[in-house]
Structures are given as C-alpha cells and as structure tokens.
C-alpha cells in the first residue's frame, strides 16, 4: 500500500482540495451497499462525525469487503471528493484498503441502543461509541478550560499529595494505604494495629481532599488550585457519587465571601461557555440523543446571575412551600442538612436558576469554616445546580488561631497529626478561602448524562473495579 501521511477525520472534513490523495485510518461504524458499491462510515475518534468511504466493488476483492464489518479497523488510501450526499461536504473514493483488525460478531458494541448499564459492563469497549466519544472529548475540553481559567488569572497549579496521614475534616471514609501483610498483622495488647513498621511508620490513606495542603499553598503563593484524583470509600450507590473522582480546589488568600462567590460563579460560567464554544458537534449530538434541553440549559446558566441566598432564608422558603402543601420526604427544620429534594426544590422549582446557599449552621459544616458574629452560622457556600444538586462546596476559612482551636476542641477532632495545618494560623495568618468542585459533577451538567459512572472512563464504585 502506498504510504500517505494520515489525516485525522476532524481535519479531513474541513478540507476542500478535491482530487488530493489522502489517507485515513479508523474504526468502521457501519457498512451498507451492494456488490457494485459499498459505503463505509469510518470514525477515528477525533470527532463525532464519520467520513464516508466509497468502495467500488470492481476495485476490491469481495473477501476484503466482507471483512469490513462494524468495529473493524481499517487503513484507507483514496481521493478526496466532493460528496453528493446530504450531511457531509466530502467523502473518500477508496483506492486501497488494508484491514488492520477484523471484528468478529461478538463485538460487544455491535448493536445500537444498548442500555447504559450494559455499556458499563463493557466499559473497556464503550469508549468506541458515539456517546462516550462525545463525553470524553468534552471531559478533555473541560480539563483544559479549568487550567486556562486559573492560569489566565494568575493561579498556580499546586500538587497536593495523594497519600496522606490526615483526614481532611472527615469529609468521607478513607481507603487505607499499607504495605503490611494483611494476613499477619502485628497488634498491641489492646488489639490495635501497630503501624511503626509500616511503610510510612504511621497509618496512611488516600486523600479525600487536597484542601488543607492547598491552604498551605495559598498562604504562600497567594492563589493556587489543585486538580487531581480524590478518593472516598463512601458506600453510597447514587448516580452522583464515585469512590474515585477528580476534584478542583482553588484556594485564595485575602478573599471574603463575595469574592469567593464571584469566583465560583465566574469559574463555572467560564467552563460552560468553553464547552459551548469548543464542543459544538459533541453537544449537538448529546442534545439530540441524550437530553433535548441540554444546550438551552447551558446557555441559560452562562447568561443568568446565580441567586445568592443565606441558608436561613432558604429554610424559610422551604417552610412556606411545605405550608402551602408541597410534600417533602424529610421535614424542614432550621439546622438540618438539606436533602437533595430540598436543594432541587430551590433550584428547579422556586428560583429556576443556580443557587449559591451561604451561611450554614456551624453544626453541619466543617471545623475550618469562618465563624460568623451570630455564633451560630459559618461562612460556607454550596453552589446548587439544576439536575445535579451540589456541584461546589466552598468557604471562607477561619483564620483566627484561637477560634479554630476552640472549634477543634468542641468537636473533639484529633489534631495530633495536623500541627502543620495549625501553623498557617500561628505564623502570619491571613483571611483566605476556596472551594472544591467535583469534576465529574461538572461533566454531568455539561453533557446532560444522568449517571456519574458514565462521565469517567473507568468508574470506581462499591464492588466495581473492573477495567
């Protein structure tokens, strides 16, 4: 076969130099036709769009044509020609076809319209479908948008550790990290495991959040963000929780609540706008196949001001709704942690736009949040989104050493291993704050997908770690 430099399909479809000899390589989506002529829809993952390969029967051995089935991988030389068909400008008049890999009948992505559950059981192959191709191209674009947003604003990308000896705020159950022989654990007289001879000489786990280390970064470099994997051994089988997910955690010195909320809102809008500007083909596909209101919803988020509402006001609105007969599974009471039904009522029914809820009761928030004058609430913010619920959790941090220590003692938090965190308040403390955004929750929102397992290539959930 003649060697011609490969063109990615995304680039090929923009070309107009008809008559040029081109090469494409990719996986066959479909083949239809007759003895006389075959039409092959080829995809190489560079775009949701396929290129049509026209293969004249007389030019090719029928055995070769027979092997070109859905899922097969082929290498094609041919002429770029203007396409007479609708929906595409160009197609390729094939001259040479090499079969890289045939695809037997038991190819798991053979049939169209499989359930998402089926796809998860074949997650190693689902990447080759239109839907997952679209989702993961968008996921890539969101990662780029995040780095660009922060870099352009002078934030430094800061790497917090993945293995940690501290449990950030008890944000979630942790996965232990050990090199000890689990079949032969050394224990003391009271039956507690001895870690002195473990790899790190102490109990260690996978991080549930990079925030505490992020605070060290921000109180030195001014403004940082982390973007990395996070692990929570929470046994919650919901469409919004993973055991391994990616989190973005900016942390900024010298900001107050308003600055923080501005940052949260500007950041999400930037990411959504980036998707609208850079992922048009994939969004149009998802809008057609997954969620007919997707693009409309994305446009609406970038063009509306988010509601900013103190928790106490939110509770009032919920109480009024309940008084008017709106049924909630969990009764409403000041001090409660809002359930998903409450968050969704506020966002989807009452305001019909994203809501930033602020000033939560201190009992339901982490120890490090800045305490308000009222002695009851803290400067925490949750950004609540339609369909998703909580997408961001953030706060202004308590910068006073004494107030922080008091709260830690009230809550009986073991701080033995956290002395280094307290040093930020001891040496040159400063007002600062930040937030955590679950990357997959953002991807859920931007793609319109319904289940968080379908927006990360290889989901980790209870009892699932295949692939």
The minimum distance between CB 341 and ligand ATP, in angstroms, equals: 13
Question: Is residue 397 near ligand ATP by the rule CB under 6 A?
Answer: no
List C-alpha distances in Å: 170 to 44, 208, 241, 416.
44, 8, 16, 15
Closest alpha carbon to 455 in 139, 5, 71, 218: 139
Query: 439 phi and psi, to 5 degrees?
Result: -55, -45
Query: SS3 of 310, please?
Result: strand
Q: Which is nearer to ligand ATP, 40 or 247 (CB)?
A: 247
Q: Which is nearer to ligand ATP, 103 or 391 (CB)?
A: 391
Question: Is residue 393 near ligand ATP by the rule CB under 6 A?
Answer: yes
Question: Is residue 407 near ligand ATP by the rule CB under 6 A?
Answer: no
Q: Which is nearer to ligand ATP, 279 or 384 (CB)?
A: 384
Residue numbers 423-442 binding ligand ATP by CB under 6 A = 436-438, 440-441
Give the residue, chosen from 48, 97, 123, 247, that forms a contact with ligand ATP under the rule CB under 6 A. 247
In sequence order, the 6+-apart residues with CB closer than 8 A to the CB of 346 are 309, 314, 317, 318, 355, 357, 384
Cα–Cα distance measured from residue 372 to residue 201, given in angstroms and rounded to the nearest whole number: 39
Residue entry with tokens 């003391």: 188
Question: Is residue 391 near ligand ATP by the rule CB under 6 A?
Answer: yes
Site pattern 194..233 for ligand ATP (x: CB under 6 A) = --------------------------------------x-
Question: Is residue 341 near ligand ATP by the rule CB under 6 A?
Answer: no
The minimum distance between CB 404 and ligand ATP, in angstroms, equals: 19
The minimum distance between CB 188 and ligand ATP, in angstroms, equals: 33
The minimum distance between CB 393 and ligand ATP, in angstroms, equals: 3
In sequence order, the 6+-apart residues with CB closer than 8 A to the CB of 91 are 51, 52, 53, 54, 81, 83, 85
Q: Which is nearer to ligand ATP, 398 or 440 (CB)?
A: 440
Tokens of 430: 């400063």
Single out the segment in contact with ligand ATP by CB under 6 A; choices: 41-49, 81-89, 143-151, 384-392.
384-392
Give the residue, chosen from 135, 242, 253, 384, that forms a contact with ligand ATP under the rule CB under 6 A. 242
Q: Which is nearer to ligand ATP, 314 or 438 (CB)?
A: 438
Question: Is residue 234 near ligand ATP by the rule CB under 6 A?
Answer: yes
In sequence order, the 6+-apart residues with CB closer than 8 A to the CB of 8 are 24, 44, 46
In sequence order, the 6+-apart residues with CB closer than 8 A to the CB of 363 are 335
Single out the segment in contact with ligand ATP by CB under 6 A; choices: 214-222, 242-250, 260-268, 320-328.
242-250
**441 in the Ramachandran plot: left (φ > 0), alpha (ψ -120 to 50) or beta?**
alpha
Rg (CA), the chain: 27
Q: What one-character-per-residue DSSP string does 144-159 give?
A: HHHHHHHHHTTPEE--
Q: Which is nearer to ligand ATP, 214 or 438 (CB)?
A: 438
Footprint of ligand ATP on this chain (CB under 6 A)? 171, 232, 234, 241-242, 245, 247, 390-393, 436-438, 440-441
């Amino acid at each position: 076969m003649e060697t011609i430099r490969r063109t990615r399909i995304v680039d090929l479809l923009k070309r107009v130099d008809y008559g040029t000899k081109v090469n494409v390589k990719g996986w066959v989506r479909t083949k239809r036709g007759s003895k006389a002529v075959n039409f092959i829809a080829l995809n190489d993952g560079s775009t949701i769009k396929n290129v049509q390969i026209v293969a004249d029967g007389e030019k090719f051995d029928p055995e070769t044509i027979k092997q070109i089935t859905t899922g097969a991988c082929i290498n094609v030389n041919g002429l770029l020609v203007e396409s007479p068909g609708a929906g595409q400008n160009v197609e390729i008049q094939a001259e040479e076809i090499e079969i890289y890999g045939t695809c037997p009948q038991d190819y798991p992505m053979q049939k169209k319209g499989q359930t998402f559950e089926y796809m998860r059981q074949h997650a190693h192959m689902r990447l080759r479908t239109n839907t997952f191709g679209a989702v993961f191209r968008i996921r890539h674009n969101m990662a780029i948008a995040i780095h660009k947003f922060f870099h352009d604003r002078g934030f430094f990308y800061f790497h917090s550790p993945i293995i940690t000896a501290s449990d950030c705020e008890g944000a979630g159950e942790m996965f232990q990290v050990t090199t000890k022989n689990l079949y032969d654990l050394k224990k003391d007289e009271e039956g507690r495991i001895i870690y002195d001879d473990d790899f790190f000489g102490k109990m260690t786990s996978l991080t549930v959040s990079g925030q505490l280390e992020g605070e060290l970064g921000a109180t030195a470099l001014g403004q940082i963000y982390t973007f990395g994997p996070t692990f929570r051994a929470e046994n919650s089988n919901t469409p919004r929780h993973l055991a391994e997910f990616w989190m973005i955690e900016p942390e900024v010195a010298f900001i107050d609540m308003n600055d923080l909320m501005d940052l949260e809102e500007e950041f999400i809008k930037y990411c959504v706008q980036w998707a609208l500007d850079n992922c048009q083909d994939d969004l149009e596909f998802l809008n057609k196949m997954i969620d007919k209101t997707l693009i409309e919803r994305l446009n609406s988020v970038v063009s509306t001001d988010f509601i900013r509402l103190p928790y106490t006001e939110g509770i009032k609105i919920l109480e009024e709704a309940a008084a008017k007969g709106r049924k909630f599974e969990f009764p409403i009471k000041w001090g409660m942690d809002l359930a998903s039904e409450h968050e969704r009522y506020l966002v989807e029914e009452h305001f019909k736009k994203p809501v930033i809820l602020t000033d939560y009761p201190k009992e339901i928030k982490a120890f490090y949040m800045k305490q308000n004058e009222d002695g009851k609430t803290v400067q925490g913010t949750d950004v609540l989104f339609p369909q998703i619920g909580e997408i961001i959790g953030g706060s202004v941090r308590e910068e006073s050493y004494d107030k922080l220590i008091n709260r830690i003692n009230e809550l009986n938090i073991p701080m033995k291993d956290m002395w280094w965190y307290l040093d930020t308040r001891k040496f040159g403390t400063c007002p600062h704050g930040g937030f955590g955004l679950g990357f997959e929750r953002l991807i859920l929102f931007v793609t319109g997908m319904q289940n968080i397992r379908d927006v990360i290539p290889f989901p980790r959930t209870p009892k699932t770690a295949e692939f």
